[in-house]
Copies of this chain bind each other. A is one copy, B any other.
Amino acid sequence: MVTMSDVARAAGVSPMTVSNVINGRPNVGEPTRAKVRRVISDLGYQVNLTARHLRAGRTDSIALIVPNFNGYFGELGDSLASMLQPSGRHLVMVSTSAQVDAELEAFSAARLRMHDGAFISVAGLSAEQVARLDCPVPVVLLGERTMPNALDHLQLDNVGGAKLATQSLIERGCRTIAVLGGASNREWDMPFMRQEGWRIALEEAGLSADPDLIVPLQHFSSEEAMGELASVLERRSIDGVFAVTDTVALGALAALREARLSVPADVQVCGFDNLESSRFAYPGGLTTVGPLHDELPRLALELLDRRIADAEAPAQHVVVGMRMYARATTR
Binding site for B on A (CB under 8 A): 1, 44, 46-51, 53-54, 68-71, 73-75, 77-78, 81-82, 85, 90-95, 97, 102, 106, 108-111, 113-114, 134, 136, 221-223, 226, 247, 250-251, 253-254, 257-258, 276-277, 279-285
B residues less than 8 Å from A279 (CB atoms): 222-223, 254
A95-B78 in contact given A250-B277, A257-B282, A282-B253 (Cβ < 8 Å) = yes
Contact, CB under 8 Å: B85 / A74: no
B residues less than 8 Å from A71 (CB atoms): 70, 74
B residues less than 8 Å from A54 (CB atoms): 48, 50-51, 54
Contact, CB under 8 Å: B284 / A50: no
Contact, CB under 8 Å: A254 / B276: no
In the complex, what residue of chain B is closest to A65 when comparing beta carbons?
Answer: B92
Q: How far is the CA of A95 from the CA of B85 in the complex (A)?
A: 11
B residues less than 8 Å from A78 (CB atoms): 68-70, 95, 97
Question: Which of B47, B50, B69, B108 touches A74 (beta carbons < 8 Å)?
Answer: B69
Contact, CB under 8 Å: A108 / B46: yes
In the complex, what residue of chain B is closest to A93 when comparing beta carbons?
Answer: B93
Contact, CB under 8 Å: B111 / A85: no
B residues less than 8 Å from A136 (CB atoms): 1
Q: How far is the CA of A48 from the CA of B113 in the complex (A)?
A: 8
B residues less than 8 Å from A69 (CB atoms): 69, 73-75, 77-78, 81, 93
A74-B82 in contact given A46-B110, A50-B113, A51-B54 (Cβ < 8 Å) = no
In the complex, what residue of chain B is closest to A95 when comparing beta carbons?
Answer: B81
A111-B49 in contact given A54-B54, A69-B69, A75-B70 (Cβ < 8 Å) = yes
Q: How far is the CA of A281 from the CA of B247 in the complex (A)?
A: 11
B residues less than 8 Å from A51 (CB atoms): 54
Q: How far is the CA of A279 from the CA of B113 in the complex (A)?
A: 40
Q: How far is the CA of A247 from the CA of B108 in the complex (A)?
A: 36
Contact, CB under 8 Å: B50 / A114: yes
- Please provide the 10 A-B residue pairs with the shortest distance between their CB atoms, ordered closest to farther: A282-B282, A74-B74, A70-B74, A69-B77, A93-B93, A46-B110, A69-B74, A250-B280, A222-B280, A46-B109
B residues less than 8 Å from A258 (CB atoms): 284
A134-B250 in contact given A49-B110, A77-B69 (Cβ < 8 Å) = no
